[in-house]
Structure 1
């Protein structure tokens, strides 16, 4: 008989036989039948709510650091034959003890209150794997009737992932949850956790009424009422509600009501702390989500999700750019409901090399607008990726201020998101600071000057497949340059470029950058150096749209080539 790997073939039957013996299930069953709750070999009895559970110190110690310290750590319990456990219920402890002996727990067969008690014991006694499994089970089993109890448990034990999942579920069911009887059973910390969230979106009057009902149902913790009520956003309620609904309850002081009225009168609408629906990584500016275009010509095109089928006559929404570089009312999009946003993507018409300038503003009422993107001084093309600090938005206004070809502003698609992706906005320039290479075809950069067999060979990401005939971009020394246009302005402080290096030649060059192709700033001057292969350039961070690379010397011929 010969063996190979973890299997061997039987010479008599010809079947493959595993070399590994796995009797884990048998072991678990034997532990359950022979040792679990069997007093015959027990050396300790654990007392829970007056009920005695026979157990084995060595097994408890092997499975839990808590019991190892309790039973073998020199404390008085290490010499006792009976140990009382006060922080447990009998049903929860019995389920946990069975898990200790068998490694199994049928969560689907347990009542929710027992599962939560077991979760508490896991956290207290260090059963981390079981704690994680229970959290995963509870996350999948959330409904309006249990989310409050699970949230309170998760808060009590600092289970951040479970807290987050509960809050996201509560956000999506805020109105229903406020009416549910279990809301009245929440702890002060639980109520505060929910209503303090910008994404817990319901009418503020309804939130206030639910909190009032909670206060009346929890007279024993009345001292926490003021703290909880501080998270109700009184300025979001109109004057009639403040005077006719809030004031008669006696739960809010006259000063707080006056402050709310003052905030309404003196603050800009965009300064009010609105609540909004949070749908991470989902484009809410789409017809399937009820978004619509209120202003702009050919309105039906911009929100249909089609980013491929457009030409000079169709597939875009537009507006006229007037002589002052303004767009009248621009293009205005209304979302079905107020949403928390921090990211807008927009496809500018790009069937030729034209560029546009524009700005984007957002609003809750179409009266008070906040500008979240100002690209009026920059040439932009194709896909735009705009980031800004998160805020609640109902209306999005896009105004084109310049087109390098004519006086029309054309937008093929607009997408609005809340993204969890990390981004950095330069505080001085208000522009994105990229972490990765933005001179790529995928990010809509293009080569607008230079000679190559393939128009965008310089930015296609291929740094190996080049030779004498292809895979590079060049220009004649003494005339012209290689110019790359980024899709939008970025604050940049470094670049890398690969000089053609299929032989031993060297180059000299300099690099300039610009935002408009009229004013150029030199960021690298290596015109007196002999340079080969990969180049790394660092400079003070500045806004960049155009990158101009000018070769000044080639030790082999009169062309300057870059891969």
Structure 2
């Protein structure tokens, strides 16, 4: 069943009257009496020009911009669907916006078209709560297209926090070069070693031969101090000549990145912001291990620890830790 939410904001128009009869039309009152009729896909909505103009530059220009529509009492609105328009007119008169997973994108796009900024922001907040590994890449591109900066930032943060999982998705291969560069350049990229950054760059660039020209530009953003020798050794020894990545490695060998020679890249900040929790019955042969991403507030299951634990649970943070003994003989460690 689709999740449903009614979001409220500060009211603009307080008093509302329904039109008598079977028409799905709305009166919007209080700033002024209804003085115009809007038609959308044959449906009529009786509205106050002043009320809508106070909430939307689109309606302000429509009613008071000096155009042909300014003198009309009945105006047809094209390019929008009546279902979404009804939800938004309800929001304009009651400040209550009813959203669910089925209608939120349509309502957002209609609010964007009609320049109803408050409704637009509420839709974005709803979508932020729906962000997941499976939709964050698509949502990031969608938010960028609509200019929804907060939603874009939230989706981007999910991508940065779960980068190691995101790079295995097929959608990752469809990202433009600029987005790949933005992610690789971020200090908040949540990877312990830049092995993953190099691997992601190789995977993206080898997917399409036309991307080879971008490889050296992107690999400049990989931080060589965070590359591990075992990873490089395995990469070079196990890669076959038929592997599309082999050509990229040869390019890297022939055109060594200038930034790699400087040795001044900063450690990614998110690598110091990971928390691990060990739990479960202490007398078992293996202990459950969980990773907490502090930037996103999300938990992730890890491979269990293959040994018994003498305490009930323990917590360790990457970085400086403080050990604390609890009354139940368990240990809690804080950063």
TM-score w.r.t. structure 2 length?
0.56
Pick aligned residue for 1:105 from 80, 97, 101: 97
Q: Is the 8 A contact 1:43 1:56 kept in 2?
A: yes
Q: Distance in 2 between matches of 1:205 and 1:53?
A: 56
User: CA separation of 1:54/1:173 partners in 2, compared to 1, >3 Å: closer, same or farther?
Assistant: same
Q: Distance in 2 between matches of 1:43 and 1:53?
A: 14
2:44 is aligned with 1:54? yes
Q: Is the 8 A contact 1:96 1:118 kept in 2?
A: yes
Structure 2 gap ranges (5+): 1-11, 28-33, 277-291, 293-313, 326-332
Q: 1:277 Cα shift?
A: 2.6
Matches within 5 A, 1:298-447: 303-306=321-324
Q: Is the 8 A contact 2:39 2:75 kept in 1?
A: yes
Q: Is the 8 A contact 2:272 2:318 kept in 1?
A: no
Matches within 5 A, 1:518-557: none
Q: Is the 8 A contact 1:147 1:170 kept in 2?
A: yes
Q: Distance in 1 between matches of 2:81 and 2:176?
A: 21
Count residues with an aligned counterpart: 259
Q: Is the 8 A contact 2:322 2:334 kept in 1?
A: no
Q: Which residue number corresponds to residue 204 of structure 2?
A: 211
Pick aligned residue for 1:147 from 136, 139, 145: 136
Q: Which residue number corresponds to residue 230 of structure 1?
A: 217
Q: Distance in 1 between matches of 2:53 and 2:21?
A: 18
Q: Which has the higher contact order (CA 8 A, sep 6+)?
A: 2
User: CA separation of 1:73/1:228 partners in 2, compared to 1, >3 Å: closer, same or farther?
Assistant: farther
| More strand as a share of residues | 1
Q: Is the 8 A contact 1:32 1:101 kept in 2?
A: no
Q: 1:147 Cα shift?
A: 1.8
Matches within 5 A, 1:460-475: none
Q: Is the 8 A contact 1:95 1:105 kept in 2?
A: yes
* SS of match in other structure, 1:63: coil
Q: 1:168 Cα shift?
A: 2.4
Q: 1:173 Cα shift?
A: 1.6
Pick aligned residue for 1:38 from 22, 25, 32: 25
Deviation readout 1:201-231 (Å, 9 max, x if unpaired): 3412442255348x65xx9xx78x8669733
Q: Distance in 1 between matches of 2:270 and 2:142?
A: 25
TM-score w.r.t. structure 1 length?
0.36
Q: Is the 8 A contact 1:152 1:190 kept in 2?
A: no
Which protein has the larger Cα radius of gyration, Structure 1 or Structure 2? 1
Q: Is the 8 A contact 1:46 1:84 kept in 2?
A: yes
Q: Distance in 1 between matches of 2:205 and 2:144?
A: 22
Q: Distance in 1 between matches of 2:82 and 2:122?
A: 21
| More helix as a share of residues | 2
2:280 is aligned with 1:288? no
Q: Distance in 2 between matches of 1:305 and 1:36?
A: 68
Q: Is the 8 A contact 1:42 1:55 kept in 2?
A: no
Pick aligned residue for 1:175 from 154, 164, 187: 164
Q: CA RMSD in A?
A: 4.9
Structure 1 gap ranges (5+): 1-23, 293-301, 308-413, 417-563
Q: Is the 8 A contact 1:36 1:101 kept in 2?
A: no
Q: 1:116 Cα shift?
A: 3.4
Q: 1:179 Cα shift?
A: 2.3
Q: Which residue number corresponds to residue 73 of structure 1?
A: 65
Q: 1:104 Cα shift?
A: 1.9
Q: Is the 8 A contact 2:23 2:43 kept in 1?
A: no
Q: Distance in 2 between matches of 1:46 and 1:191?
A: 45
2:125 is aligned with 1:136? yes
* SS of match in other structure, 1:288: strand
Pick aligned residue for 1:258 from 248, 254, 259: 254
Pick aligned residue for 2:56 from 53, 64, 75: 64
Q: 1:67 Cα shift?
A: 0.8
Q: Distance in 2 between matches of 1:94 and 1:250?
A: 57
Matches within 5 A, 1:270-281: 271-272=264-265, 275=268, 277=270
Q: Distance in 2 between matches of 1:251 and 1:96?
A: 54
* SS of match in other structure, 1:142: coil
Q: Is the 8 A contact 2:203 2:245 kept in 1?
A: no
User: CA separation of 1:134/1:190 partners in 2, compared to 1, >3 Å: closer, same or farther?
Assistant: farther
Q: Is the 8 A contact 2:275 2:318 kept in 1?
A: no
Q: Distance in 1 between matches of 2:14 and 2:78?
A: 30
